[in-house]
Amino acid sequence: MAQNVGNLWHLAEPMTELKSLDEVLQADVAIVGAGYTGLSCALHLAQQGKDVVVLEARDIGYGASGRNVGLTNAGLWIMPKEAERLLGAERGKRLNQFLIDAPHYVDQLIETHEIDCDYKRNGTLHLAHNRRAVAYLNKRAAQMAEYGADVSLLDRTLAFELTGAEGYFGALKDAGAGTLQPLKYCIGLARAALAAGVRIYTHSAVLDIERINGNIGGNIGENLRLKTQNGYVTAGDIILATNAYEEKISYNKGLYTSLYYCQLASEVLSEAQREQCLPANMGCWDSGAVMRSFRTDAAGRLLVGTVGNIHTASANGLKNWSQHVVGKTFPHIGELNYQYAWAGRIAKSVNNIPQIQELHKGLYQIVGYSGRGIAPATVTGKLMADYLCENISIDELPLPFNALKNISFNRVRAAIYEIGCQMSHISDFIMR
368-427: per-residue pLDDT in tens? 999 999 999 999 999 999 999 999 999 999 999 986 555 555 555 555 555 555 555 455
Measured distance CA(400)–CA(87) in Å, rounded: 8
Domain count, the chain: 2
59 and 129 belong to one structural domain:
no
Task: Kindly state whether residue 397 falls inside one of the protein's structural domains.
Answer: yes
Residue count of the chain: 432
Do strands 257-268 and 24-32 pair parallel, antiparallel, or not at all (unpaired)? Answer: unpaired
334 and 262 belong to one structural domain:
yes
Of 39 and 308, which is predicted with more confidence? 39
Distances from the Cα of 16 to the Cα of 35, 56, 60, 369, angstroms: 17, 14, 10, 29
The H-or-E segment that residue 157 falls in is: helix 156-163
Nearest to 27 by CA among 55, 53, 54, 56: 53
Q: Please, are residues 177 and 121 in contact by the beta-carbon 8 Å criterion?
A: yes
Tell me which residue range forms the domain holding 202.
9-68+184-254+351-407
Q: Give the confidence band of 319 by pLDDT, cuts at 50, 70, 90.
A: confident
Model-level pTM? 0.93
Task: Kindly state whether residue 301 falls inside one of the protein's structural domains.
Answer: yes
Half-sphere exposure of 39 (CA within 13 A, CB side): 30
Q: ∠149-154-159 over CA atoms, to 5°? A: 120
Task: Kindly state whether residue 294 falls inside one of the protein's structural domains.
Answer: yes
Over residues 82-104, the mean pLDDT reads 98
Task: Kindly state whether residue 422 falls inside one of the protein's structural domains.
Answer: yes
Q: Please, are residues 92 and 32 in contact by the beta-carbon 8 Å criterion?
A: no
Of 256 and 253, which is predicted with more confidence? 256
330 and 396 belong to one structural domain:
no
CB atoms within 10 A of CB 408: 9
Task: Please give the DSSP secondary-structure letter assigned to residue 248.
Answer: S
282 and 424 belong to one structural domain:
yes
For residue range 161-206, list pLDDT tens digits in order.
999 999 999 999 999 999 999 999 999 999 999 999 999 999 999 9
Measured distance CA(163)–CA(381) in Å, rounded: 33
Nearest to 323 by CA among 334, 307, 332: 334
Measured distance CA(38)–CA(30) in Å, rounded: 10
265 and 247 belong to one structural domain:
no
Distances from the Cα of 398 to the Cα of 30, 83, 134, 258, angstroms: 23, 11, 30, 25
341 and 361 belong to one structural domain:
no
**Residue 314, domain CATH:** 3.30.9.10
**Residue 201, domain CATH:** 3.50.50.60
164 and 20 belong to one structural domain:
no
193 and 330 belong to one structural domain:
no
Q: Please, are residues 99 and 74 in contact by the beta-carbon 8 Å criterion?
A: yes
Measured distance CA(30)–CA(333) in Å, rounded: 50
Distances from the Cα of 80 to the Cα of 84, 296, 394, angstroms: 6, 29, 22
Q: Please, are residues 53 and 199 in contact by the beta-carbon 8 Å criterion?
A: yes
Least confident residue range of 135-139, 230-234, 253-257: 253-257
Q: Does position 96 have pLDDT exceeding 70, yes or no? A: yes
269 and 400 belong to one structural domain:
no
Query: In the prediction, which pLDDT does 257 show?
Result: 87
Query: In the prediction, which pLDDT does 2 show?
Result: 45
Nearest to 38 by CA among 181, 179, 186: 186
How high is the mean pLDDT of the chain? 91
For residue range 202-243, list pLDDT tens digits in order.
999 999 999 887 555 455 447 899 999 999 999 999 999 999
